[in-house]
Amino acid sequence: MPHTGFATIDFETTGLFPGGNDRVIEVAVVHSDPDGSITARWDTLINPGRDLGRQDIHRISAAEILRAPTFAQIAPELIARLDGRVLVAHNAAFDTRFLIAELERIDYVPDVELVALCTMQLARVFLPDAGRSLADCCAAFDIVLDGAHRASVDAEATARLLAGYMAHARDRSSWDQALEQADRGRLIPLIGAPTPWVPREHAQPTGRHFLERIVETLPPFGGSDAQNEYLALLDRCLLDRVISQHESDGLVAMATKLGISRDACEKLHLEYFWSLGAAAWSDGVLTADERDDLATVAALLQIPSDQFDRVVAEPDERPSDPGTAGTTLAGFRLEPGDLVTLTGEMSRPRSEWHDALTSHGLVPKEAVTKQVKLVVAADPDSLSGKARKARNYGITVVDEAGLARLLAGV
């Protein structure tokens, strides 16, 4: 009977420590025949139920993760794709530690020892003069590594690296021994409903603007109270000049709850935009930064270009107000003494943000309670426990840019 072959795996994770709180957020599996030829590929994002750690490294957004399955959901197929095969990874100790930790979290313990090969360690034999990184090893074999720190890219490159090692080996005895050992030690199947794997390209937000998701025909608009409630939520959503997936969903839900149709929302957005324009022109000057800011908001709210031109025009050249600039928003502001909580891997050290908060008379707060005024997340769609609790309490969540804007007004 021929050996099953190799399964090259790669994980992207929230951090480096599977024994702590770090979790897997992406996995790729590449199958190869016993001779090293690639035969199949799979990859998926994984929802870890927490913040995503160093997003600048793996470049995975929380909005993408919202569409991804959990590890428990993909585990049955993952185990089936590893069963009877030699596991291969670049720095296999890292990937197998995370694999075992995630399996233990769902109470699955392999009853056999996993047979694994490490292409980083094998570089000592086949590439003694090269570096140990995946990029260095791939360069020695002219293997393309475009888009590193994406699981599918790294797993594919590692599988090709394995094939390169095998082609340069003097004999097959070590490979055959590993294949025979893996073939004898089969994993216990994990029973579970099939769950689609969701690669990054399938997890991207649809691009469908939240306005398009608001029902076109609803009962008549509920009046000024409903209008102000919707505009107040819109104002909070735009604090960081980003409308996150959670905020987009919240605006759609609010419009539906208040009976505000799509046409009414468009009018409210225009009213809000004219109010921002009036505030920008209040000193008689529209700076380049203010114009850029208005352009950002116009794009987020799908303000027609002719309306943007009217708002940014010199006051004496501006056409008459369309009758939608009557609302004045109190706006969301931070006041000295307000409690602010930070969550996730920030681009600036937490200590710097703490100093900035205290210098403005604000109080950094580790835990999220109902008394917290604002939660600042590395990603506004953060899945951290703090961000989830903030949303449950109705506490505003912004990114670092949003905090910077608010501090400028304190």
Q: Which residues are known to be catalytic?
A: 149
Sheet holding 38-45, edge to edge: 38-45, 24-32, 6-13, 86-89, 116-118
- Side chain identity at residue 383, one-letter code: L
Helix axes 288-301, 305-312, angle to 10 degrees: 150
Other beta carbons within 10 Å of 208: 9
End-to-end CA distance of the chain: 73
| Residue where the block lists tokens 């097959």 | 172
Instruction: Determine which helix (DSSP H) or strand (DSSP E) holds 267, and give its type and residue range.
Output: helix 262-280
Please give the Cα distance from 68 to 71 (Å, whole number). Answer: 9
Please give the Cα distance from 384 to 230 (Å, whole number). Answer: 26
| Residue where the block lists tokens 């600048």 | 56
Residues ≥6 apart with Cβ < 8 Å to 369: 339
Instruction: Determine which helix (DSSP H) or strand (DSSP E) holds 403, and give its type and residue range.
Output: helix 400-408
CB 327 within 8 A of CB 275: yes
Other beta carbons within 10 Å of 220: 9
CB 88 within 8 A of CB 6: yes
CB 103 within 8 A of CB 83: no
Sign of torsion over alpha carbons 142, 144, 150, 154 = negative
Residues ≥6 apart with Cβ < 8 Å to 400: 346, 347, 348, 353, 376, 378
Q: How many residues does the chain have?
A: 410
Residues ≥6 apart with Cβ < 8 Å to 214: 251, 252, 255, 256, 260, 261, 262, 265
Tokens read off for 46: 């994984």
Longest dimension (CA), the chain: 86
